[in-house]
Amino acid sequence: MDTFFNPSSVAIIGATEKPGSLPGIILKNLLDMGFKGKMYPVNPKYKDVFGLKCFPSILDVPDEIALTVIAIPAPLVLDVLKQQAQKRIRHSIIISAGFREMGTEGIEMEEKIKQVAIENNIRILGPNCLGVLDNYTNFTTSFLPWERVSKPKKGALSILSQSGAFAIALLDLAAQEGLGIAKMVNYGNRIDIGESTLLPFLMDDMYTKVIAIYMESVDHGRRFIEAAKACSRKKPIVALKVGKGAAGIAAAKSHTGAIAGKYEIYKAAFLKSGIIEANGLEEFIDAVKALSMQNPPKGNRILIVTNGGGFGVIVADYCSENGLAVPTPSPQLKEKLKNKFSRFYVVNNPVDLTGSACDEDYRIALNTGMIESDEYDAAIIIPLMAPQGMTEKIVDIIVDTMKLLGKPAVICTVGGTFTMKIKQLFEDRMFPVYPSPERSARAMSMLLKRRILQTGMAHTQCGGVTS
């Protein structure tokens, strides 16, 4: 499997310098990323491409080739695969579209390719896909120009996606959200390699700490559950299942030719295999961000600290809706907090530091509320940056305090340019920031779900005082 992410040598079929050609862009992207393996452009029309010696066919390449990247028109793919069989090249990423998703004729071509692959022991990723991006080996088969799609930084998240557009949008969003990426794999029509093969590989991948799966259908039901079960014991897996209702199932069928099947069956399978299911794209991104950046809380008792009372109220509402408790501080703790604060501050849960708050107040609230008592397992912190007492220092204060406490936190803050700057500072230090109270509460509930899956503890037994 490693060959798909770090091939010692790769042949790019149809490589050219002509702008707009897929094999050409792929080769250019590989060069731009600084991939260190051997690269062989293959195209009878050229002697060299982007400064690399170009070969008329794979058979003319004198060295061994570990992987071919095929991004030429569908009807020409079969011949390349036959040549490749002759040269005993065991791995192929087939980017080309025009197969199963195009109806009868396409299905026939796809079946022929499958047969040649099986007979010759060739493992295939695709067709109708973007292939892979490995942020550590710098190998990619993406044919999208980097000036359009931001390249995310190195990190702990790996993405498995049946949809190419979705995979790309996730990369772009990840870059925007300060979320680091390890690997991305898009397998499109998935005639061979799919989730069931990739999960065991990612389970042992040292760079991958969290796995995100976009799924219209699954490759092999039972194998998938087994693979996911084993993998989720080690690493959190978040899935977004699309094609749920009649309209979505029909749309999925035209999209990847996938039979989406009954949604209830997927729901049950996710539960069985320890997969956290997200509802929609935002919850998907929010969950993987929280899980990539913070540890799951030990229980469900949440302390809310804010300088915007209304936001505290909304977070409290959405905590309740999502299985998080918002317990009132004990009389002793209330007393302690009251002694430390101006009488204007509302000492309760939420702790409301009001519009008069300055950033140091957050340190006091979190230290007193969480260290000096064992009443809370995690914090949702809502620093609104409009009041003048709030400065950039809030980031160090919250990050340092929570790290000392050893308890997880998520941040919610809402606003324009200055707020966006604060968001980035928090996320550089691995504290996830959400732009609405409801999303911060849901992200925290995703962290708790991970804890529940890890420990097998039931929701009601996770140490929380229900408020």
Task: Restricting to residues 437-456, name those near a copy of itself by CB under 8 A.
Answer: 437-439
* Sole binder of a copy of itself in the list 388, 456, 458, 460 (CB under 8 A): 388
SS3 of residue 237 by DSSP: strand
* Region near a copy of itself per CB under 8 A, out of 158-166, 268-276, 373-381, 395-403: 158-166
Tokens of 135: 């942020």
Residue number with CB closer to a copy of itself (1 or 251): 251
- Asked if 237 and 213 touch (Cβ cutoff 8 Å), the reply is yes
247 binds a copy of itself (CB under 8 A): yes
Interaction of residue 297 with a copy of itself, rule CB under 8 A:
no
- Binding letters toward a copy of itself, positions 2-41, x by CB under 8 A: ------------------x---------------------
Token code pair at residue 175: 């870059």
Containing 229, the helix (H) or strand (E) segment is helix 221-234
Query: For the purposes of burial, counting CB atoms within 10 Å of the CB of 238, is it exposed (0-12), middle (13-18) or buried (19 or more)?
Result: buried
Fill in the amino acid letter for 227.
A
Among 198, 242, 366, 398, binds a copy of itself (CB under 8 A): 242
Burial call 406-425: b when 16+ CB within 10 Å, e when fewer? ebbbbbbbbeeeebeebbeb
- Answer for which of 384, 395, 398, 462 binds a copy of itself (CB under 8 A) is 384
Question: Is residue 335 a contact point for a copy of itself (CB under 8 A)?
Answer: no
* String marking each residue 125-154 x if it binds a copy of itself according to CB under 8 A: -------------------xx-xxxx----
Beta-carbon contacts of residue 109 (< 8 Å; ≥ 6 apart): 74, 75, 77, 78, 98, 99
What residues numbered 407-436 form the site for a copy of itself, per CB under 8 A? 414-419, 435-436
Q: Among 83-91, 199-207, 245-253, 425-433, which window interacts with a copy of itself (CB under 8 A)?
A: 245-253
Cβ pair 453, 276 in contact under 8 A: yes
Strand partners, 140: 133
The reply to whether 282 sits near a copy of itself by the rule CB under 8 A is yes
Q: What gap in Å lies between CA 155 and CA 275, rounded to an integer? A: 21
Nearest 10 degrees: CA dihedral of 27, 32, 37, 39? 30
The C-alpha atoms of residue 124 and residue 404 are separated, in whole angstroms, by: 48
Stretch that binds a copy of itself, among 165-173, 200-208, 287-295, 424-432 (CB under 8 A): 165-173
CB of 344 to a copy of itself, least distance (A): 6
Q: To the nearest whole angstrom, how small is the minimum distance from the Cβ of residue 85 to a copy of itself?
A: 28
Give the number of residues in contact with a copy of itself, rule: CB under 8 A. 86
From 59, 76, 165, 271, residue interacting with a copy of itself (rule: CB under 8 A): 165
Q: How many CB atoms lie within 10 A of CB 458?
A: 8
State which of positions 341-360 bind a copy of itself (CB under 8 A): 343-344, 346, 348-350, 352, 354-355
Task: Give the C-alpha separation, 210 to 158, whole Å.
Answer: 6
Provide, rounded to whole angstroms, the least separation between the CB of residue 249 and a copy of itself: 9
In the set 200, 248, 261, 463, which binds a copy of itself (CB under 8 A)? 248
Lookup result for tokens 């000036």:
147
Contact between 100 and a copy of itself per CB under 8 A: no
Closest CB to a copy of itself among 247 and 458? 247
Residue 279: CB minimum distance to a copy of itself, A: 8
Give min distance, CB of 434 to a copy of itself, in A.
Answer: 10
Tokens found for residue 204 = 């042992």
Whether omega before 127 lies within 30 degrees of 0, making that bond cis, reads: yes
Longest C-alpha distance within the chain, in Å? 82
Binding mask 183-222 for a copy of itself (x = CB under 8 A): -------------------------------x-x------
What SS3 class is residue 436? Answer: coil
Please say whether the beta carbons of 27 and 12 come within 8 A.
Answer: yes
Binding a copy of itself (rule: CB under 8 A), the pick from 1, 52, 78, 169 is 169
